[in-house]
Structures are given as C-alpha cells and as structure tokens.
Amino acid sequence: MKKNKSPKKIGSEKYAQYRDNSHNEKEKPENMLKTAGKLFSLLKGKELLVILTAIFAAVGSILTVLGPRYLGDIIDVLDVQIKAKLAGGVMDFTPIYEILITILLIYLGSSALTFLQHYIMAGLVQNLITELRRKLNLKLTKLPLSYFDSHNKGDILSRITNDIDNINNTLQNTLIQIITSLVTFVGVFVIMFNESAVLTGWSMLPFPVGMMISMVILKFSKYYFRKQWRVTGDVNGHIEEMFTGHRIVKAYGHEKKAIEEFDEINESLTQASRKAQFFSGLIAPLVNFANNAGYVIICVLSGYLIIKGEASIGAITVFMTYTKLVTQPISDLSMIANNLQSSLASAERVFNVLDAEEEPEEGTKDLTLSSASTITFENVDFSYVPEKPLIKDFNLTVNEGDLVAIVGPTGAGKTTIVNLLMRFYEIQGGSIRIDGVDIRDITRRELRSHLGMVLQDTWLFEGTIRENIYYGRPDATEAEFENAVSASQADSFITTLPEGLDTVLEENGANLSEGQRQLITIARAILASPDILILDEATSSVDTRTEMLIQRGMHNLMQGRTNFVIAHRLSTIREADMILVMNEGSIVETGTHKVLMKKGGFYADLYNSQFNN
C-alpha cells in the first residue's frame, strides 16, 4: 500500500509552488540605479531644499575636518612655549586661547549645520514616503482584478507596510551620510596631501583593497536582502491566509500542518536575513582591518620622519588624526552602500507594483438609462489564460426588464459573464453593449454606478450595520434606508440585536452568521437602487424560509430593471423570463423553465439531479 506524504512534505510542495507562482517578477533583471532614480524623482519640486541640505552637510563636514588642524597648532604652540619656559622665558597662553575660541566656533557651527540638515532631511524623507504611499494606494485602485487574483494579499500588504517602512528607516540618515562622507574624504585628503604627499600616498594604499572587499560582499548581500524582503511577503501572505481561514484550518484539524508550513517559510526568511546580515556585517571589520594595517605603516613612517627632524610633533599628530578620519568615510560609505541595498530592494518591490499594467484606458461617453436596459453580447471571446480559451464567440441579447438566470456546472463561465459585464476583466474579442453603447466607451465609474451586485462571498467592513448598508448609497433618505432594510428581510434579525442598526460589526461581520451577513449585503444593494441588478448566488447562504422572504422582497426591486441571477438552486429561478444554460463557456440551451423541462436536455438533467439525489 502506498504511503501518504507527510505533512512536512506537503507543506514543502505547497510553499515551493506558492513561491514559484507568486514571485515571477523576482526573475527579472534588477536595476538599482534605475530604482534609485525613481525613488528620488518623488522629491520633484523640493530640489532647492535638497541642494540646501547638501550645502549644509558639505559646510558642516568641512568645519569638522578643520577642527583637528587647529588642535595641531595648539600642540606646536605649547611645544614652543614649553621650550621658551625651559630656556628661562615666560609662557604666553594668548595664542592658545585664540585657537581654542576658533575651535569652539567651528564645532558650534558644525553642530548647528548638522541639526539643520537633519531637520530639513526629515521633512523631505517624510514627504517622499507620504507621496510613495499615496501613489501606491492610488495605483491599487487602478489595477485590474486579475492582478489581485494572481498576487498574494499578504505580499501586497507587506509592500505597503514593511517595504515602505524599511525605505523610511534607511533613507533619511543615508542621504546625509553620503554627502558627509564624500566631503569629509575629499577635505581630509587635501589637508593630508598638503602636510605630507609621501605619507598621504602610503595611507591611500589600503583603500583599493577595502573597495574590492566591499564590492564583492555587496554583490552577495544585495541578493540576500532582495530575498529577505520577498520572503517577508511570503510570511505575511501565509499568516493572512491562515488567520482569514482559521475556522477551516481548525475544522479539518490542520493546525499542525499550518504551523509546519509557517515554520518552513519562517526558516527561509531566517536564513535569508541571517546571510544578508552576515555578508553586510563582514564589510566593517574587513575594511577596518585594511585601514588599520595602513595606519600601522603610517605610524612607523611618521616616527622615522620625527627622528630625522623632517616633521614636527604637532604636524605628525594632525596627520595621524586625519589618517583615522580619512578611513572613516570609506567605512561609512561601505555600510551606507549596504543599507542602500536593503532599502532599494524594498523600493524595487514597491515600484514593481507601481509599474504594473493598469486597467485599459477608459472611454468618455455617458450612459443615460431610464430604468431598464437592453444588454447585448456580440461574438465575445475571453480567456483567463491565453492558451486556454474559456468563452468563444458568445452571443446574447437581454431585453430591458428581463430576469435572466444563468445556470450550469462549476467552471461553465457563469460568473465570468458577469465579470465581463462589470468590466472586472476586459474581453479579448467582440463587444458588450448597453442600450447600443459599447461598455469600453464608458468610464468604469459611470458603468458601475448603474449596476448593483450581490456576491456569494459577503464583504462587510468594521463599523455599524447602518454604516454598512448606507455604503450602497450614502445620500439615501431615511425612508429609502428603512425600505431597503425591510425589503431585504434584514430587519427580521436586526431588531433582535441589543444595539439594532447601531450594532458594531467585527472584521467582515464575524459576529454575525453567514446568512445574516448576506442579508445586509442584499439590503445594501437594494438601497443602491441600480438600473441593472446582478445576484451571484446571493441567497446561497440563507435558509429556505429566509430565501423565500428575500425572493418576495427582491421581486418588487426587480420590477422595471434588467436582472441577472446566477444560481445553483434551480428551484429559485423557475419564474425567470429567460434561463441560459452554460457549459464550457458556451450557451447550450435557452428558454423558460417549462420549455427547457419539456425539452429534456442538459437543463432538465441538472434540475432533476437536484431533486433525485
């Protein structure tokens, strides 16, 4: 007998499949410079502030560099004064006081400029992050439904939260440090070269070694930082999936499997993060080792020059101080580059969303409907996957005021027809017209303002029942609101709640039964009073008695409107003006219930199977 795979193995296969399907974009070539350009383009209009910050950073760095130069003067002045004292003269501290005042002013100026540059940069970065969040939120409203169907929700949320937070945390200090490090390096190099060209040449020897080390390490850290943020999205996706469906997980006793799957993804994140931090952590000690080796060489050579009398103690002290200062910017730039790798890896994930293809351009025509409409499908072709056609040469005319029921087995294309009418997906051939107007010539907002939809899967937000129903039409009158609640039969349970309409719902109405949630969504649709009404298994989650009450309420709403009903319970659509029987994306039968039953075809088989089993 064949053994079943262990839960661990099942989890492994699921994660591997999820990882491969959810992150196709990770295989694309990454361009850090292009990403950085996109990121800084968000500062458009703030160029003067950026320049001012750069000037403050540059001047502050120059002042910081000049400080040690004056300390060397103090040592030389003290050396002269001590020698004069030993020779029987009098020590004069006036030059030292003047130098100390100069140093004090230099460091006060440097501190003030540092404060100003950080203050301005904080505002600039927050503006950039705010603009990035705004663009991302706006982009999500423009993406087609297919994007959300093909991307994990948790991963999208991770880009909006974790990745943007990473950019925010890294960017502010990084930009200032780049300017400060570059100016400090140039300033210190000039002063060192002026003091001793020979010693400066020797002190520069470790730099090529440090740069080569940094470049090699950054190549590895870039890969693992990118992987770290991708797998962070995987973790969020798994958590969102497991906790959204926690009832199903518990009902089937899959807690252990869910934990094992999480542990595997979490372990992948741990490994990626560990390697990213390991390689990034190598830069500082290796670069410092190279710099310290150069520092030892300079110490030996400096001692030799003092012994020969070719340099003063003050000059050598200054040079040694600058030798340490000149290596610091190199180490800082190495760490900055490492931090940028993490930040730009996150920025790439955000820009992958911003660069995603939006819904096609919208039309400009207005759609003026009286109350009902004629809807025509002409030679419509559509497929979710190009190589697997679902709907081919589909034709249908729905007269105004008709109640059209769409039935068929699972996967026949019933919901797809409605999705195409709502322009959740775009057709690949043919046309869909409402009162003779191609829906592609109408803005989606205009189109959907005439359609109302009640789905099998309910959606309610955290708020009161009243607020959730008013979501259908916020400007509705109180009388219209009460009529909608009554027609949907939602008042049958709302009146039993302690707070009634002011009852606060938990996430997606978790404190109500599924049937009660469905009644609220139906009330919302009734309040919207659409010209075209779409019910996609709208009564599938309520009991038979409640279903009958809803049917009565919906009957009045449907009068004078064009209606589509997708149903599996065939007993609920016997009074439909037209029944479309679909199979494999095509209409196989049409007619009323009586006509189709007499015909004894596909519909009759479906209908009889529900009552004979």
DSSP three-state, residue 600: coil
CATH classification of the domain holding 508? 3.40.50.300
The pLDDT of residue 553: 59
In a domain, 265, yes or no: yes
Contact criterion met (CB below 8 Å) for 403 and 565: yes
Residues 310 and 272 in one domain: yes
- Specify the pairing of strand 403-407 against strand 463-464: unpaired
| CA separation for the pair 134, 131 (Å, rounded) | 5
Residues 468 and 542 in one domain: yes
Exposed/middle/buried for residue 568 (C-beta within 10 Å: 0-12, 13-18, 19+): middle
> DSSP state, 580?
E
pLDDT tens by residue, 206-239: 777 767 777 777 777 777 777 777 787 777 777 7
| CA separation for the pair 395, 409 (Å, rounded) | 19
DSSP three-state, residue 341: helix
Residues 118 and 76 in one domain: yes
In a domain, 365, yes or no: no
In a domain, 360, yes or no: no
- pTM for the complete prediction? 0.65
In a domain, 468, yes or no: yes
Using 70 as the pLDDT threshold, list the residues of the chain that sit under it: 1-31, 72, 88-90, 173, 210, 243-248, 250-253, 283-284, 291, 306, 309-315, 318, 331, 334, 338, 361-372, 538-547, 549-559, 569, 571-572, 611-613
The pLDDT of residue 14: 46
Residues 343 and 388 in one domain: no
pLDDT tens by residue, 450-496: 888 877 777 788 888 898 888 888 888 899 898 888 887 788 888 88
Contact criterion met (CB below 8 Å) for 189 and 200: yes
Q: Buried b / exposed e across 207-241, counting CB within 10 Å, b at 16+?
A: bebbeebbeebbebbbbbbbbbbbbbbbbbbbbbb
Q: Under 8 Å CB-to-CB from 419, ≥6 apart: which residues?
A: 145, 425
Looking at 294, 322, 354, which one is the last position of a domain?
Answer: 354
In a domain, 369, yes or no: no
Please enumerate, as own/partner, the contacts of 465-468 that have beta carbons within 8 Å and a separation of 24 or more: 465/494, 465/497, 465/500, 465/501, 465/502, 465/503, 465/505, 465/520, 466/501, 466/502, 468/505, 468/509, 468/520, 468/524
Residues 245 and 115 in one domain: yes
In a domain, 199, yes or no: yes
Residues 199 and 145 in one domain: yes
Residues 428 and 285 in one domain: no
Looking at 307, 324, 354, which one is the last position of a domain?
Answer: 354
In a domain, 294, yes or no: yes
Residues 347 and 382 in one domain: no
The pLDDT of residue 6: 38
Residues 320 and 384 in one domain: no
In a domain, 3, yes or no: no
Residues 204 and 96 in one domain: yes
Tally of structural domains, the chain? 2
| CA separation for the pair 505, 418 (Å, rounded) | 29
Looking at 290, 325, 354, which one is the last position of a domain?
Answer: 354
CATH classification of the domain holding 303? 1.20.1560.10
Contact criterion met (CB below 8 Å) for 236 and 156: no
Exposed/middle/buried for residue 133 (C-beta within 10 Å: 0-12, 13-18, 19+): middle
Q: Which residues pair with 438 in a beta bridge?
A: 433
Structural domain range at position 560? 375-612
Residues 400 and 510 in one domain: yes
Residues 70 and 191 in one domain: yes
